[in-house]
Amino acid sequence: MQTSSHLSSSRLPLAGLLLIQALIGYEWFMSGLSDAHWYASFLRGSVIPNATAFGYLIEIGELLVGIGLIAAAALWLFRWERLPDSGRVAVLAVTALAALGGIAMAINFHLASGAPHPWLIPKSGFDESVDLDSLLPMLQLVLIGVSAGLLRALRRKPRASTVLAPVQPLERSLT
């Protein structure tokens, strides 16, 4: 018979991935709440008539990406087994769409900052070598890949053997 510790250890990699997803969501959510307005000032200087609208769109986009990634991670981690297939598809689609939106914003922010190379921050030898706007798209591509792979697996397999379904304990026969 499989024990609950085996069940929890088999979900450990998934829990790690979902923790990363929730942390990325938290970063976007907090960025939306506490926008430093450096990007809004760039938009005001470049796109004068629409600066206010773009500023609001950016903050709303950051909040939506953050909420989408956090909510999808929570649903995936705590309610996946109880979701119908349509709910699972929705969770995976929200994950992929939120990550795609995050990639678009991160690349846009990186380009707006005028960084010469997507991976290097040559300002200080003692500072980090990769900025967050360059790292987030790579991590979010992983989330999109995992979501897309699971969507394909979900469509191919019957409900009883759906990917990431709980491991059922084996019943012992007393005969």
Tens digits of per-residue pLDDT, 24-75?
888 888 777 665 575 556 656 776 677 778 788 889 999 999 999 999 999 9
Count of Cβ atoms closer than 10 Å to residue 68 Cβ: 24
Does residue 162 surpass a pLDDT of 80?
no
pTM: 0.67
- Of 38, 89, 40, 75, nearest to 60 (Cα)? 40
Domain boundaries, the chain: 4-161
Give the rounded distance of the alpha carbon of 11 from its chain centre. Answer: 18
Whole-number Å distance between alpha carbons of 64 and 69: 8
Q: How far apart are CA 108 and CA 162, in angstroms?
A: 37
